Structure 1
């Protein structure tokens, strides 16, 4: 029961967190100011190499600008610098469509979509902005582009940017407050559910204990009555024996 409650809380927190990191006023500006996680060797032609340990399990969920479009066709295993490449199961949006919800698929050994994830995409005109979450396991990576360099730096370079710092509007603050209220409300609901469930279980235990006590009392009463009946019967039998002894007289002695 405790494990189930914990899983519910974690699931609710993950859902509310996903809504939070994608909920920004201007995804294009936000993505333009973000540094994409391990941008190298994400092309379809880049083969998986275990020595690099590239994996999007450690990506910080956020909006990102990626110069190459996300792959829209199922790649082979060991592509995009990963054991399990992840591709866009659908088409890229037009600029007029705004922010769209999309599904991306993890390529498995059996099929092209052994697992899917939810992402958001915004066509910003000269580039696409992607709201990406962390993937489940290693080695899974998002695929971008078909042809390009597969070189992986031996050391992680220090990333510098001249982009202006991200500014948050009042709308962003409102979104934060709304998501915080949703998260707190969900956690409170789970706690109430746990409390009610525990009360029901406790009540059943009390009822069972009362039934057991009642049964023990009835058993004791029956034993007492049964014993009392036996003692009464013994007393009656004893009295009857004494009465017979008084009424009986020995036969006269035999004389010749």
Structure 2
């Protein structure tokens, strides 16, 4: 297989892995019925204020943005996050259908320190975006240049008509503590099992040595007794009538 073929196959697998969740029959319908993940303060003019928002926890699917995704490089600490992500390309027309695009993460060194593969479709009255979950926090997709940065205390999430979710920073400390407790329990159980196995093997080893020693003593006794018996037999006088 040639080097060019390997590169093409790798690139195809990368794209397939990134956008497999975008393969739905009606992208516009799914986007229109799905509320955007943490939709507030995504404008370019919204500063990062440690609100805990992060698109690492986004469910990869089609979303309807209230504003167009940003198509120019924003500054760090904008779009309500430390590392904003913007569209490095153009928005499609209706005739384009579903298009593949590249989103860029703004970093300290450049406007595109990392790329993400996304898909976009022009649905006429709005754009549908098939967005992948981002790798780290705090990173967010940017939508719109100017807008309100107000964050309500609660907002409705599209999991049912009466379902509300309180905005809060992900409880990473609690998660790490629970994980450490589980790992400690697992290690303790494994230690007990290992100790029992070693103790059982030690008992078997001692029993085996005891049997071996007893058999050896029996053989030595027989070896010592037999010659005495033979000597007595040779020394006894013969009987003649």
Category of TM-score, reference length = shorter chain: 0.5 to 0.7
User: Secondary structure of 2:103's match?
Assistant: strand
- What residue number does 1:99 align with? 98
User: Secondary structure of 1:144's match?
Assistant: coil
1:26, distance to aligned residue in structure 2 (A): 1.1
Over the aligned positions, Cα root-mean-square deviation in angstroms equals 2.2
CA–CA separation in structure 2 for the residues paired with 1:157 and 1:91? 31
CA–CA separation in structure 2 for the residues paired with 1:147 and 1:31? 23
In 2 relative to 1, CA 148–111 (structure 1 residues): closer, same or farther, beyond 3 Å?
same
1:41 aligns with 2:34: no
> Can you give the 5+ residue segments of structure 1 that lack an aligned partner in the other structure?
1-11, 164-256
- What residue number does 2:193 align with? none
TM-score w.r.t. structure 2 length? 0.58
1:15, distance to aligned residue in structure 2 (A): 6.6
- What residue number does 2:139 align with? 140
Higher alpha-carbon Rg: 1
- What residue number does 2:123 align with? 124
Cα deviation digits, residues 79-117 of structure 1 (max 9, x gap):
000100000001101111000000000000010000010
- What residue number does 1:26 align with? 26
1:18, distance to aligned residue in structure 2 (A): 3.9
1:13, distance to aligned residue in structure 2 (A): 10
Contact residue 78 and residue 84 of structure 2 kept, 8 A: yes
In 2 relative to 1, CA 24–127 (structure 1 residues): closer, same or farther, beyond 3 Å?
same
> Can you give the 5+ residue segments of structure 2 that lack an aligned partner in the other structure?
1-11, 162-241
Show the 5 A alignment for 1:183-198.
none
Moved >6 Å (runs of 4+): 12-15
Q: What is the total number of aligned residue pairs between the two structures?
A: 150
User: Secondary structure of 2:63's match?
Assistant: strand
CA–CA separation in structure 1 for the residues paired with 2:92 and 2:109? 29
CA–CA separation in structure 1 for the residues paired with 2:49 and 2:92? 32
Which of 1 and 2 has higher RCO (CA within 8 Å, sep 6+)?
1
